[in-house]
Amino acid sequence: MVVIGILIALQINNWNNERIQQEEAAKTYHNIKIQIIDDATELKKVREFNAYFSGQYAKANEIIKTKDKSKSDSLAIIAMVLSQNSNFHRSGNIYETLVNSGELKLLKNEEVTRNLQKLEMTYNRINELEEVHWDIIMNELSPELKGVISYADLTINKPEKLFSIELQNIFIESIFLTKGKEAIYDQALKEIDTLVVLIDEELDQPKGP
């Protein structure tokens, strides 16, 4: 009877430990879901801005191609828009944080962890493109526009420079960059959708004996 009692106590203790781990895992899954849903919301906003900028760059390129000097004012405004950019920058690293905190071992669903790693790689790629875009603004656009347009009142001081091949190349470069950013934003959103489904399935599973 003593042995049976000990075995029962051990079993109950194991059940309690398992229940605690399952509860901790559920909290971790839930926190991940909240974070990536927040990321998706921000990504959608950034994608809208990016699409707007891309359309403006294409319009400017067309003005330069046709050498339509009657649209110089419009071209100047769009050139100023070039100094802005959509910027989604994930400073946190979900997967690495889980590893460092020890929470990763709570996640028994390997498909979730694999997709988290994949999403982190996509975020890193987004960050790289955002840095490239900022580099274009600071190191290519700013020197090219210096003295061409008055930042105070948008007065055009050197109209011929607005139609230069150098500025057109920056517009074309920015068009390709924004298209690349659009594609990677969409990829991240799809990966988030996949993760949300996987996490919901995990959270809906019955727990405990």
Instruction: Give 152's pLDDT tier (boundaries 50, 70, 90).
Output: confident
154 torsion bin: left (phi>0), alpha (psi -120 to 50), beta (else): left
- The terminus-to-terminus CA distance of the chain in angstroms comes to 24
Residue 194 in tokens: 């996949």
39: nearest Cα among 179, 183, 178, 185:
185
Looking at residue 50, its pLDDT comes to 92
Residue 129 in tokens: 């493109």
The average pLDDT across 6-32 equals 67
% of the chain residues with pLDDT over 70: 82
Instruction: Give 87's pLDDT tier (boundaries 50, 70, 90).
Output: confident
pTM: 0.82
**Contact assessment for residue 32 and residue 116, using Cβ atoms and an 8 Å cutoff:** yes
Report residue 140 CA to chain centroid gap: 24
More confident residue, 7 or 59: 59
The average pLDDT across 73-99 equals 76
Instruction: Give 140's pLDDT tier (boundaries 50, 70, 90).
Output: confident
- The model's pLDDT over 91-120, given as tens digits with 9 standing for 90+, comes to 557 767 776 666 767 677 788 888 988 998
Q: Nearest 5°: CA angle at 93, between 88 and 95?
A: 135
State the Cα–Cα distance between residues 87 and 129, nearest whole angstrom. Answer: 9
**Contact assessment for residue 54 and residue 182, using Cβ atoms and an 8 Å cutoff:** yes
- The model's pLDDT over 27-76, given as tens digits with 9 standing for 90+, comes to 888 888 988 999 999 999 999 999 998 999 899 999 999 988 888 888 88
The average pLDDT across 7-33 equals 68
Burial of 165 (0-12, 13-18, 19+ CB in 10 A): exposed
**Start-end of H helices in the chain:** 2-66, 72-81, 94-101, 110-136, 142-145, 159-162, 165-204
Residue 105 in tokens: 């071992």
| Predicted confidence (pLDDT) at residue 208 exceeds the cutoff of 70 | no
Looking at residue 97, its pLDDT comes to 73
Mean pLDDT of the residues in the chain: 82
Looking at residue 209, its pLDDT comes to 39
